[in-house]
């Protein structure tokens, strides 16, 4: 069965367009990769388009620099750490510009500050507050291909270099696309686009040609790794058309559409039946903490989650058991990223006597499965299909949470892959052929 979002002939061609492309670290890991990416950029230019490229640091450069920093200072000064890390993109962008040059095309590289990427002063996790791409426009007007350092910017008040944190280069690309009013922002990785499920987990997963930004946000927040939430959020707010596609092929990837947006070049009129479910996301990165024997009096849950919030841990799902009247106590379970679990446990233990709970149970053998689809708003029975499929497969549901367009369940980690496959089938998402999976993960 073909997924309704995968018609055979959605091919988007622009006449003369301004195209922003983003290449991650694995796409520019060595000299050969850089030359391959340069060729792709040159091909886009040859087709008559203006091209602006956001590029990450080469391969493991950022990790190597972090390692060096750790060797000279146990807790590196944040301003200097940003200065250090920002050198990574400086290397990759200059090499990429050189490679393009030697193919006979004019290319110029720009640092975050030269590109006018203005951010807050929060070193390591700066947010973009303005983009003033004056020099980029000049370079484009002069016919040059523009290469911009991803992941970095500068603060106007301190005049210091900043970095944007995880997924920063995606955000750089989208912000450039917004500021330059680009026709499309192509995010390249080593996968073909957004799939109805992770093809490594669900072999019959199909590539989506289109996904809505709100669905993409839910998918990204619940385990899909191809795009970063911040970039998708920025794109939705600034009406940037994202095209997630593969460095290794020239076929169409997945378009991410914000509200009111459509696939360009007359595709917008095409009537496509909106599927109820866009995809199934899986996440093995969560842990579950259960607070046992919490006094069943008003305000106790608030107390617990205030303590956890203060520790900096990000709570995801919460379930409170029905109180056992006999004891006057109840249990509260919640999930959070595995990496935050130690912090949260420590914070809770520190306030145990104040809160008055009896015990803590930590469980990192869970898996979260999320079904995402904008069609859920208008269709009933979506959750029934999910529960029925899991029940038939004999998979136990431990927690449930829902949003307007998502249902998530927690199951045993060992059951997660099987759960994803049966649910994928139950919603009619299976493709006819198995998807090809590239090695590595997208960045």
Residue 104 touches a copy of itself, criterion: CB under 8 A: no
**324 contributes a contact to a copy of itself by CB under 8 A:** no
How many C-beta atoms lie closer than 10 Å to residue 219's C-beta?
29
Stretch touching a copy of itself by CB under 8 A, among 75-83, 182-190, 254-262, 291-299: 75-83
Q: Give the burial class of 288: count Cβ atoms within 10 A of its Cβ; 0-12 exposed, 13-18 middle, 19 or more buried.
A: buried
Q: How far is the CB of 176 from a copy of itself (least distance, A)?
A: 18
Sequential DSSP letters for 8-68: TT-----SS-EEEEEE-GGGGSSHHHHHHHHHHHHHHHHTT-EEEEEE---TTHHHHHHHH
Nearer to a copy of itself by Cβ, of 164 and 287: the residue is: 164
For residue 118, state whether it binds a copy of itself (rule: CB under 8 A).
no
Q: Are 358 and 304 in contact (CB under 8 A)?
A: no
Query: Which of 20, 34, 139, 178 contacts a copy of itself by CB under 8 A?
Result: 34
Residue whose C-alpha is closest to residue 92's, from 59, 65, 124, 68: 59
List 413's β-bridge partners, or say none. Answer: none
Q: Which residue in the set 9, 13, 15, 72 belongs to the binding site for a copy of itself (CB under 8 A)? A: 72
Asked if 371 and 280 touch (Cβ cutoff 8 Å), the reply is: yes
Residues whose CB is less than 8 angstroms from the CB of residue 305 and which lie 6 or more positions away in sequence, other chains included: 315, 318, 334
Q: Interaction with a copy of itself in 254-273: which residues (CB under 8 A)?
A: none
CB of 158 to a copy of itself, least distance (A): 10
Of these, 83, 121, 360, 400, which contacts a copy of itself (CB under 8 A)? 83
Output 28 or 336, the one with its CB closest to a copy of itself: 28
Which one, of 147, 196, 202, lies nearest residue 418 by Cα? 202
Q: Which of 20, 99, 131, 416 binds a copy of itself (CB under 8 A)?
A: 99
The residues in 49-68 that bind a copy of itself, with binding defined as CB under 8 A, are 65, 68
- Minimum Å distance from CB 173 to a copy of itself? 20
CB 334 within 8 A of CB 318: yes
Please give the residues from 368 up to 427 whose contact with a copy of itself meets the rule CB under 8 A.
none
> Minimum CB separation from a copy of itself for residue 101, in Å?
4
Contact 382, 374 (CB under 8 A): no
C-alpha 407/C-alpha 399 separation (Å) is 11
Pick one of 7, 11, 31, 350: the residue that binds a copy of itself (CB under 8 A): 31
Q: Which of 6, 101, 137, 356 binds a copy of itself (CB under 8 A)?
A: 101
Q: Which of residues 293-312 bind a copy of itself (CB under 8 A)?
A: none
Rounded to 5 degrees, what are φ and ψ at 391?
-65, -45
- What does R_g of the chain's alpha carbons equal in angstroms? 24
| From candidates 1, 73, 309, 342, binder to a copy of itself by CB under 8 A | 73
**Total number of residues that touch a copy of itself (CB under 8 A):** 39
* Residues 171/164, Cβ–Cβ less than 8 Å: yes
d(CA 136, CA 140): 6
**DSSP single-letter state for residue 361:** E
109 in contact with a copy of itself (CB under 8 A): yes
Which of 10, 47, 66, 98 touches a copy of itself (CB under 8 A)? Answer: 98
Is residue 353 within the footprint of a copy of itself (CB under 8 A)? Answer: no
| Alpha carbons 436 and 83: distance in angstroms, whole number | 40
Question: Are the CB atoms for 287 and 336 separated by under 8 Å?
Answer: yes
Mask: binding to a copy of itself, 150-169, rule CB under 8 A, as x and -? ---------x----------
CA 415, 417, 418, 422 torsion-angle sign = positive
Q: Rounded CA gap, 314 and 367, in Å? A: 17
CB of 185 to a copy of itself, least distance (A): 24
* Candidate segments 101-109, 255-263, 281-289, 411-419, binder of a copy of itself by CB under 8 A: 101-109
Of 398, 318, 412, nearest in space to 364 by CA: 412
Nearer to a copy of itself by Cβ, of 113 and 330: the residue is 113
Torsion of CA 170, 174, 180, 184, to 10 degrees: 100
Residue 101 vs 412, nearer CB to a copy of itself: 101
Report the nearest approach of a copy of itself to the CB of residue 351 (Å).
32
Residue 97 sits in the site that holds a copy of itself (CB under 8 A): yes
Q: Is 35 in the site for a copy of itself (CB under 8 A)?
A: yes
**34 or 369: whose CB is closer to a copy of itself?**
34
Residue with tokens 């090499």: 95
Least distance to a copy of itself from the beta carbon of 107, Å?
8
Report the interface residues with a copy of itself, using CB under 8 A: 31, 34-35, 38, 65, 68-69, 71-77, 79-81, 83-84, 86-88, 90-91, 93-99, 101-102, 107-109, 114, 135, 159
């Amino acid at each position: 069965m073909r997924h309704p979002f995968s018609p055979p002939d959605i091919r988007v061609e622009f006449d003369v367009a301004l195209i922003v492309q983003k290449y991650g670290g694995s796409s520019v890991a060595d000299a050969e990769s850089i030359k391959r990416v340069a060729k792709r950029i040159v091909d886009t230019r040859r087709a008559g388009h203006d091209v602006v490229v956001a590029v990450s640091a080469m391969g493991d450069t950022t990790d190597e620099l972090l390692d060096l920093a750790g060797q000279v200072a146990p807790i590196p000064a944040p301003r200097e750490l940003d200065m250090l890390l920002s050198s990574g993109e400086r290397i990759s962008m200059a090499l990429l510009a050189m490679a393009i040059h030697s193919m006979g095309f004019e290319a110029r590289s720009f640092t975050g500050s030269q590109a006018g990427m203005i951010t807050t002063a929060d070193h390591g996790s700066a947010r973009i507050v303005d983009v003033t791409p004056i020099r980029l426009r000049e370079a484009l007007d002069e016919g040059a291909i523009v290469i911009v350092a991803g992941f970095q910017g500068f603060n106007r008040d301190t005049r210091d270099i900043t970095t944007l944190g995880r997924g920063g280069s995606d955000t750089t690309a989208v912000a450039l696309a917004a500021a330059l009013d680009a026709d499309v922002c192509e995010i390249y990785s080593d996968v073909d686009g957004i799939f109805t499920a992770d093809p490594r987990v669900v072999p019959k997963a199909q590539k989506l040609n289109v996904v809505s930004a709100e669905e993409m946000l839910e998918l990204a927040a619940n385990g899909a790794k191809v795009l970063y939430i911040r970039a998708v959020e920025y794109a939705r707010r600034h009406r940037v058309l994202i095209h997630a596609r593969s460095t290794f092929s020239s076929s169409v990837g997945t378009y991410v559409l914000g509200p009111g947006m459509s696939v360009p070049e007359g595709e917008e009129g095409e009537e496509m039946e909106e599927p109820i479910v866009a995809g199934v996301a899986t996440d093995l990165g969560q842990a579950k903490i259960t607070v046992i024997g919490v006094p069943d009096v008003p305000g106790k849950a608030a107390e617990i989650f205030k303590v956890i919030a203060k520790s900096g841990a990000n709570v995801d799902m919460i379930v409170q058991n029905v109180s056992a009247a006999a004891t006057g106590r109840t249990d509260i379970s919640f999930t959070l990223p595995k990496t935050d679990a130690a912090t949260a446990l420590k914070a809770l233990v520190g306030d145990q006597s104040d809160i008055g709970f009896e015990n803590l149970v930590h469980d990192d053998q869970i898996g979260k499965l999320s079904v995402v689809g904008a069609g859920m708003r208008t269709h009933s029975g979506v959750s029934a299909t999910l529960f029925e499929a899991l029940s038939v497969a004999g998979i136990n549901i431990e927690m449930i949470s829902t949003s307007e367009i998502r249902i998530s369940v927690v199951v045993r980690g060992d059951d997660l892959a099987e759960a994803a496959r049966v649910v994928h089938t139950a919603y009619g998402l299976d493709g006819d052929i198995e998807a090809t999976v590239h090695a590595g993960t997208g960045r």
